[in-house]
Chains A and B, each alone.
Chain A
């Protein structure tokens, strides 16, 4: 089963993503607290990590830097409504491989897993 970590300060988003992706055989772990999310990202193994770009304590760019520094192989998608957001650029520079736009691009997640399966 594929494992996915989602870090977003909105609980509803975490619950929705969990429910939807479960239908596709993807096991989702969610944290609304970014510090807890970082710990989980480092300590556990996930096929994909989703992190919101703007959160109260640790933004998505900082999250990416921290996780990448400890686990460079992590695959991180940054959740943002605006691709031109400077923080989004920072996150990409820090090693996030793509942006996930709001409203949620679940297709992108599914597509990613599909291509990952091929490899």
Chain B
């Protein structure tokens, strides 16, 4: 150092000592050049630098917690130290285990080095390399169309204000060919890489393994119903049951049920509910005041208790333990083991009851005959048995006939009015009404005639009673009446055509 410069420094030191004896003169000089000319200032800077300990430039790094980002801080050289270069950075990174130098953002590194070297200031935390997360493997997934995942199906007729909870069905019926869902294919996994070049293995996402059961088919990636039935989705298993199995009762938990196939109910059918099957219906308990229809047959393990509300219609046979306070109609046989009480039974074939089966206080219409253990009761309650005629058809005719009677009475009334009325306009109106009635009357007549033609009679139909027949029991065979006057035992009632009467004979067991 020249003497001159040394003298300048000493002056400054003295000045500092007066203010604060602990401050480093070199630092202060850097910040305060107001009283020093430029040339001197540059000289001072040189001195200062000469007084600082020389240190090479260096870098330091930090990584993110997940090791997917690496940041460098660039410390410039001090004194006569070697400036930072990209080689410095490379060597450093390699020493830290960063092997994938190809991923380094060298443009950013060079920029940071330049800034650090020129400004002599540290450049902190610059991102130089990023890794990437693995892409997890996604196994094949099954997507079910939302409408089939819902268990509640609203009735079409439901308005916002009226909700009939009977119609909230917990069963979903699907038609053949209906799309139920789809399969999304598997997505392969891809390993990730951290900043050190280490592989991050991918994981496999959790997924349920689906099974496609009965009556389900796959069409490309679509899941389709192979048959009409009840859709059952249970723990990753999809199937379609052609027999609808109701575990428990038909009540508010199930809602009304309509099914094109067979229905099996392990419980009872509650009052007020409707069950319709185009196949057979099996009920392991009883039917209480419900409306039940089955095209092929109804089997009820216990009884049918109509509670004066329930109606049962069947295209085949009905089998049950007993029938009470119900209206039952069958195109096949009706078998009620223990008997029929306070009911109306219409049957195109035979009504049968078991060894102890009684028919009491009921109206039985059975085209091909009746057999029971007891007819009527001691109390004299009315029992009527009609045989020999197709009553199912006859019931249809009765409905027409009621319309005919109402119509006839209306016509008579209008004709009486017409006789008294003189006003032409009024007469015209009445005439117009009568013309309309006449047209309607013709239609009803034609309908009646066509049904009548199909109304067969079975003159061999008989009523067989193994036990007692009580007085008051009324029997008709092919419209020929027989009224039981005295108590009888074990008789067969039949139509004797030769005398045109219903007669009885002892029943041969």
- Where the two chains meet, the residues of A that have a C-beta atom closer than 8 Å to any C-beta of B are 12, 15-17, 19-20, 23-24, 82-84, 88-89, 92, 96-99, 103-108, 110-112, 114-115
Q: Chain B 390-429 against A: per-residue CB contact (8 Å), 1 yes, 0 no?
A: 0000100110011011001101100000000000000000
Q: Are A19 and B485 in contact (CB under 8 A)?
A: no
Interface class of chain A by DSSP: helix
- CB pairs A–B below 8 angstroms (7 shown): A23-B441, A84-B474, A84-B483, A99-B481, A106-B404, A107-B398, A111-B389
Q: Is B457 an interface residue (CB 8 A)?
A: yes
Known: A83-B382, A115-B478. A106 touches B401 (CB 8 A): yes
Q: Are A115 and B457 in contact (CB under 8 A)?
A: yes
Q: Is B128 an interface residue (CB 8 A)?
A: no
CB distance from A39 to the nearest CB of B (A): 25
The 10 A-B pairs at the shortest CB distance, nearest first, are namely: A16-B408, A83-B474, A23-B445, A98-B481, A19-B408, A107-B397, A106-B401, A89-B483, A84-B472, A20-B404
Q: Please, how many residues of chain B have a CB less than 8 angstroms from a CB on the other chain?
A: 35
The interface-forming segment of B90-98, B176-184, B238-246, B448-456 is: B448-456
Q: Are A19 and B411 in contact (CB under 8 A)?
A: yes
Nearest CB to that of B409 among chain A residues?
Answer: A16
- Where the two chains meet, the residues of B that have a C-beta atom closer than 8 Å to any C-beta of A are 380, 382, 384, 389, 394, 397-398, 401-402, 404-405, 408-409, 411-412, 441-442, 445, 448-449, 452, 455, 457, 472, 474, 476, 478-483, 485, 500-501
CB distance from A32 to the nearest CB of B (A): 14
| B380, B404, B476, B479, most chain A CB atoms within 10 A | B479
Q: Are A24 and B449 in contact (CB under 8 A)?
A: yes
Q: Are A103 and B408 in contact (CB under 8 A)?
A: no
Known: A12-B412, A19-B412, A84-B472. A108 touches B479 (CB 8 A): yes
CB distance from A35 to the nearest CB of B (A): 25
Q: Are A20 and B485 in contact (CB under 8 A)?
A: no
CB distance from A25 to the nearest CB of B (A): 10
Q: Are B412 and A16 in contact (CB under 8 A)?
A: yes
With A19-B408, A110-B452 given, can you name 4 additional A-B contacts, CB distance below 8 Å? A23-B442, A106-B401, A108-B479, A111-B457
Q: Are B394 and A12 in contact (CB under 8 A)?
A: no
Complexed CA–CA distance, A103 and B406 (Å): 11
Q: Are B409 and A104 in contact (CB under 8 A)?
A: no
Residues of B close to A97: CB separation below 8 A: 480-481, 500-501
CB distance from A40 to the nearest CB of B (A): 22
CB distance from B255 to the nearest CB of A (A): 38
Partner of A16, one of B405, B442, B474: B405
Residues of A close to B457: CB separation below 8 A: 111, 115
Q: Are A104 and B481 in contact (CB under 8 A)?
A: no
Known: A84-B382, A98-B476. A89 touches B485 (CB 8 A): yes
Q: Are B384 and A83 in contact (CB under 8 A)?
A: yes
Partner of B452, one of A15, A19, A114: A114
